[in-house]
Amino acid sequence: MNRVEGSWSLVDGQSQFVAVVGFDKGEVLVEADQPLPQGGGGNRPGPVQYCLFGLASCFAATYASNAAMMGVELKKLRVAAEADVNFSRTFGLSDEPIIEEVRITVDVDSDAPQEELRRVEEMAAQRCPGAAEDHPAPGGNGGRGRDRPPPGERSPGRGQRGSGHTTGMSGRTQRNLRAHHCVRAW
């Protein structure tokens, strides 16, 4: 079981949330602070940034592991995670979904054929604990807001951007997620 437990600080000027996070070879102090518009000092990453960091690092690790298992050599792998966040519900101003959309963008350089890179990405999407779209999760409709398509269906006008994976060149694809563990439970 993975677990993080921390404390909320009631002292002005300090990080608002602090936790000691343990891992195989040690532990590290992790501090979070809300952004200025949400009453924080903006002195540390906020909870959403940590969730996105976790999602990006988890997807990258899963992608790299699956590429290795498939014998696909990677020259470069960059993963970006971004979310459209609407804080109006947080402040009691609306019933709109807080997380409107989560996107993962993969930028990979490999000599592998385009089809192999697509298979690696699909396997990563299915196997990544933070990104798999079929995880059961609390919160009603699996993180989908009103008028959102079910997992696996893309929103109109969204999806891949750029030319996708190209053999021997840097390729970039974007995956939209509407059911992500870290953010959908909010």
Q: What domains does the chain contain, in order, with CATH numbers?
A: 1-45 (no CATH), 46-184 (3.30.300.20)
For 105, 113, 141, 181, the CA distances from 134, given in Å and listed in that order, are: 19, 28, 12, 10
Question: Would you state the pLDDT for residue 177?
Answer: 54
Distance CA 50, CA 27 (A): 17
Q: Is 141 exposed, middle or buried (0-12, 13-18, 19+ CB in 10 A)?
A: middle
Cβ contacts of residue 154 below 8 Å, gap of 6+? Answer: 176
Question: Would you state the pLDDT for residue 13?
Answer: 87
Residue from 35, 31, 39, 37 nearest 12 by CA: 39
Can you list the alpha helix ranges (DSSP code H) found in 34-128? 47-69, 114-127
Q: Name the pTM for this structure.
A: 0.73
Residues in the chain with pLDDT < 70? 132-186
